[in-house]
Amino acid sequence: MSLMKKIFIGYILCFAIGTAMLCLYYLPSTDIVKITGSEVKRVDNDGPISADNPADGPTRDVYYIYTSDVNKKIMVYRNEDTGWSVPWYFKFNSADIQAQAQSANDANQMSRIVYYGWRFNMVNMFKNIVSIKPVEGFGASTFSFYTILKFAGWIIWLALILVQLAIPMMIRRRRERRELARPDGSIVE
């Protein structure tokens, strides 16, 4: 296998893995859960402020929402404004979402949570909530605009992979045609 083919395969693999991770991280997903509690923590860049981790820079309030799903699996979500930064959800209403979460907890009702991100315990990383809506009746459909958006993201991702595969093939064919061209401009067949 030539060096160019190895570089191309490595490039395609890196592109595929990178775009898949971005799609999985930034595109919204939904969960149907029962909200069991919430709290506010003061954090800085190192995490929650405590006696072991004193504030050593700018701080901010981060809301946390505790949930359990139908199978009693516990999940913790972060509720923080995205503002004008990436990802562009333009979320400025984290206090309102926190009030909705508290209301759902008091009413003991199931809620549809729309979020982005991943939950990794080792690095203290939480999914960030975008919106909370009450679910009418148990077993309500989870198919929504956000589900369609997730599918669209996968379709776009696959289209980008196909384009990345097609470009080198088109370049190679063009190069082969130039090599076969006669000096008078006609093509040898």
- Res. 188: pLDDT tops 60: no
Q: For 148, what's the count of Cα atoms within 13 Å in the CB-facing half-sphere?
A: 2
| Cα-based angle 109, 113, 118 (whole degrees, multiple of 5) | 135
Domain count, the chain: 2
pLDDT value of position 57 = 78
Task: Tell me the average pLDDT of the chain.
Answer: 81
Question: Do 131 and 153 reside in the same domain of the chain?
Answer: no
| Domain containing residue 68 | 28-142
Question: Do 128 and 43 reside in the same domain of the chain?
Answer: yes
**Residue pLDDT, tens place only, 58-68:** 888 889 999 99
Higher pLDDT, 142 or 123: 123
pLDDT value of position 93 = 87
pLDDT value of position 13 = 82
Q: Is 169 exposed, middle or buried (0-12, 13-18, 19+ CB in 10 A)?
A: exposed
**Residue pLDDT, tens place only, 66-94:** 999 888 889 999 998 887 877 777 888 88
Question: Do 17 and 38 reside in the same domain of the chain?
Answer: no
Question: Do 136 and 57 reside in the same domain of the chain?
Answer: yes
Residue whose C-alpha is closest to residue 31's, from 157, 140, 182, 186: 140
pLDDT value of position 64 = 93
For residue 102, the domain's CATH number is 2.40.50.110
